Structure 1
Amino acid sequence: MWVSNWVEGGIRSFIGSATGGGGGWIWSSVDGKAGWWHEGLVIYGVTAMAGLALAATLVISTRRGSLRSPWSRRIGKHPLTRHQWNNFFTFDGKLRDGGIKFLKKVRTAGVEPSIRPEVWPFLLGVYDLRSSRAERNVIQAQKRKIYEKLRRRCWQLVNHGDENSNGQESPFSGTLDHIAPKESSTPDHVIVEDDENSIADDTESSFSESSIDEEPDSIRISSASTRLGEVDPELTKIASSTGEIPKPPQRDENFTTWQRIMRLDAIRANDEWRNYNPSQAEVSRDNAVKFATCVGLKDYEHLEPCRIYHAARLVAILEAYALHDPEIGYCQGMSDLLSPILAVIEDDHEAFWCFVGFMQKARHNFRLDEVGIRRQLSIVSKIIKSKDSDLYRHLEKLQAEDCFFVYRMVVVVFRRELTFEQTLCLWEVMWADQSAIRARIGKSVWGRIRLRAPPTDDLLLYAIAAAVLQRRKMIIEKYSSMEDILRECNSMAGQLDIWKLLDDAHYLVVNLHDKIE
């Protein structure tokens, strides 16, 4: 604080000498800190010297917080580009400096849409930040095989108990030969172990740091090779026992229930993604119907081909995830989280593992006991209480201090309140924070200085609190019930400035994270 007082004193002296001692002093404040300011700062501010502007900036920056938000100067900055992305890698395909500069860039400005399919697997822990190109090739092949086995298991469960299906081919198997590539996309030198133990370990612990790698400038594998179970030409040759995918009690009954819900959700999914990835909207009706048939999708005749296709992809990956994480299975809202990933990543096995990475944290939103949701609502409440006691007292009067009115924002990670592109921006910045924490980046003094603020696992919650705080005046003066606040939160859709929201959220992180986390 003595630094800011010293700078303010210098400004007063400077203005006094520059204006010949004329003019008066006015009482004002910056961020709630009162003090005397010379009226010349206002009258002659336009013609003031650059040094004065810099000094004033230092005062305001110091007053706002000791660490600046990486988003406070977002205007004029550009997202991570293809050229920058390629330059982050060494000759053997490793990220330089363990990915620190890469994560800093993403936290600051996001990612250019054209390279998101390559960048997101790193952010979501599919590929380790320290991995080489060769290591990622091996991991990619292993994860592809695990996904294929999950899809075969899904097919087995779909047809379980159907006496007419035993020994018959998949309704889609006859079309595989001319769609699937003739040669394996796995490099010749890659050897993939296929023992049951390794499959079980990878399926249950797919997010371990030892198994997270990716190819920086990899050529996309043909989407036809992994789409909706097409990868396996022998889809009908399902073993009677699949030891690599453990089957807990009542799995079949649960799976049937999950299937029914996810198929309804998939049919009802909107098509916001179409403008983001028009190429996915060009699928023919024949192919879309084939994909839908493969996953047993029904009642889709009223949909356009691209929406049928998207719905079928949703079902295929959500079914696989339900087997991968049977404790969570499927709950409404999960399709909202998967849909943007499908729009960005066209290969189903890669999209699946990115979704697994996303759900590593988001899965707690879907626990039946709601422990994860209650914890997050409690954090939002603490942030508001610490930042704005007047607003918090008003919420207490309305018996809304539990912040239940932001329940939807927490569950579907702001998906309903943001536009499609805004959602992608928020998520990848949020993932960059989480990736930095996984890699233990940002906890040292160097990290705090260079990244300008400590990364947090709960950036989403600070963003939600910031969105509420932006509306504090309206909430205090006009709303007299939690239902009023809930309607206000639901009306935020399309009204938020994502980078301003992130700036405010990070300001809260800087000032409150030691108290909250």
Structure 2
Amino acid sequence: MSSAAGQDNGDTAGDYIKWMCGAGGRAGGAMANLQRGVGSLVRDIGDPCLNPSPVKGSKMLKPEKWHTCFDNDGKVIGFRKALKFIVLGGVDPTIRAEVWEFLLGCYALSSTSEYRRKLRAVRRFDTFLFSDRWLDDNGYNREVIDSLRISDAPEADFVDGTKSNSVVASKDRVSEWLWTLHRIVVDVVRTDSHLDFYGESRNMARMSDILAVYAWVDPSTGYCQGMSDLLSPFVVLYEDDADAFWCFEMLLRRMRENFQMEGPTGVMKQLQALWKIMEITDVELFEHLSTIGAESLHFAFRMLLVLFRRELSFEESLSMWELV
């Protein structure tokens, strides 16, 4: 999540990849070795979510260490020091929500605590994201939702078509939007369904609402499969849905290219980069994949698209996110 964290850990990246894949990463075991390796790596670094050991816990970014990173006005003055703790042991769950807002860029390091308090209040008030006011009898409140748009939203009226030049076009737009909502619901009920948190229908509804609003306010991207996996941690982490939305939106700013429908996506570029890294760091695995014609690395597509959310456990994926 933090580029600075990645730089601090860059010298050992090659060793990690070698270790994860193994010297004998042939005979069809590369995929399994990679998944087991990444999971072990995260556990060895430390699992800040589930009762970390005293040794690993001592390396974790704890509240007392985090609070020393601020001056009297609330400006962050020791962020690099905090990043080192994050890389070594993750973030204490009690401060994870606050720390992630800085890692994602929701707040500038130079912002004061008073400015952040006001900005948070403005975001919650102005968006009305998840109160009943964004919905009306027709399915949404156009005035409220239109105020949230962050890019080239369509001008046609989704409900009655009075601004559309064609009734047929209006019906097509309505059908398209209803299909988007259907896809969101289908994906949400399958996302992290093993968590007790999502045993409550209210929490699944929260995720659906956030994805629907994002699809509306960023129509050039819309909704794509995989977004629910990226959103889920924020829904769990933040009680206020507006906070969860803004963190998700900041993450998608970095990953929006991954969900492009035309041209080479960001994931394809990342796969190409991974192939070049593998050629240097694990020659045996590189040669094996070349021999079987797997240069495309399609088996790793999902890993990069949803940031290992489905390859790692929920807790492990949070730790992995904090590393990158």
Q: What is the TM-score of this pair, normalised by structure 1?
A: 0.45
Deviation at 1:240, TM superposition (A): 9.2
Matched with 2:32 is none
C-alpha distance in 2 between matches for 1:248 and 1:153: 21
Q: Is the 8 A contact 1:150 1:324 kept in 2?
A: no
Q: State the partner residue of 2:5.
A: none
The Cα shift of 1:145 comes to 3.2
Between the aligned partners of 1:133 and 1:269, the Cα distance in structure 2 is 35
Q: State the 1:79 CA deviation.
A: 1.1
Q: What residue number does 2:209 align with?
A: 316
In structure 2, what residue type is equivalent to 1:366? F
| Residue 275 of structure 2 is aligned to residue 381 of structure 1 | yes
Q: Within 5 A, what are the aligned runs for 1:463-478?
A: none
Which of residues 248, 263, 266 is equivalent to 1:372?
266
Partner of 1:260: 182
1:332 to 201, 212, 225: 225
Per-residue displacement from partner, 1:295-324 (whole Å, max 9, x unpaired)? xxxxxxxxx5x1x11210101111121122
Give distance in 1, aligned partners of 2:132 and 2:220: 20
- Tell me the CA shift for residue 271 of structure 1: 3.5
Given that 1:377 and 1:403 are in contact with CA atoms closer than 8 Å, whether structure 2 keeps it comes out as yes
Structure 2 unaligned spans of 5+ = 1-14, 16-42, 47-54, 159-172
Aligned to 1:358: 251
Q: Percent identity?
A: 35
Count matched residues: 255
Task: Determine whether 1:143 maps to 2:130.
Answer: no
Residue identity in the other structure for 1:382: K
Q: Which amino acid aligns with 2:301?
A: Y
Which structure has the higher relative contact order (CA within 8 Å, separation 6+)?
2
**TM-score scaled to structure 2, two decimals?**
0.70
Is the contact made by 1:117 and 1:345 (CA closer than 8 Å) also made in structure 2?
yes
CA distance in 2, matches of 1:312, 1:429: 30
Letter in 1 for 2:64: H
User: Residue 346 of structure 1 is aligned with which of 239, 254, 279?
Assistant: 239
Query: Which moved further from structure 2: 99-108 or 140-149?
Result: 140-149
Higher Rg: 1
* Contact 2:104 2:247 (8 Å CA) reproduced: yes
* Gap change, CA 1:73 and 1:329, over 3 Å in 2: closer
Residue 419 of structure 1 is matched in structure 2 by: 313
CA-based RMSD: 2.9
1:151: Cα distance to partner? 6.8
Q: Deviations over 1:339-378 (max 9, x none)?
A: 1111111111111111111112222222112521210111
Q: What are the ranges of 5 or more consecutive residues in structure 1 without an aligned counterpart?
A: 1-30, 32-70, 161-235, 275-279, 282-303, 431-517
Equivalent of 1:84, from 28, 47, 65? 65
Identify if the C-alpha distance between structure 1 residues 88 and 398 changes in structure 2 by more than 3 Å, giving closer, same or farther: same
CA 1:423–1:267 in 2, change beyond 3 Å: closer, same or farther? same
Change (3 A) 1:367 1:393: same
- Name the CA shift for 1:376/1:363 in 2 (closer, same or farther; >3 Å): same
Please say if 1:95 is aligned against 2:76.
Answer: yes
Work out whether residues 79 and 110 of structure 1, in 8 Å CA contact, stay in contact via their aligned partners in 2.
yes
Q: Distance in 1 between matches of 2:211 and 2:224?
A: 10
After superposition, the Cα gap between the structure-2 partners of 1:123 and 1:158, relative to the gap in structure 1 and judged at 3 Å, is farther
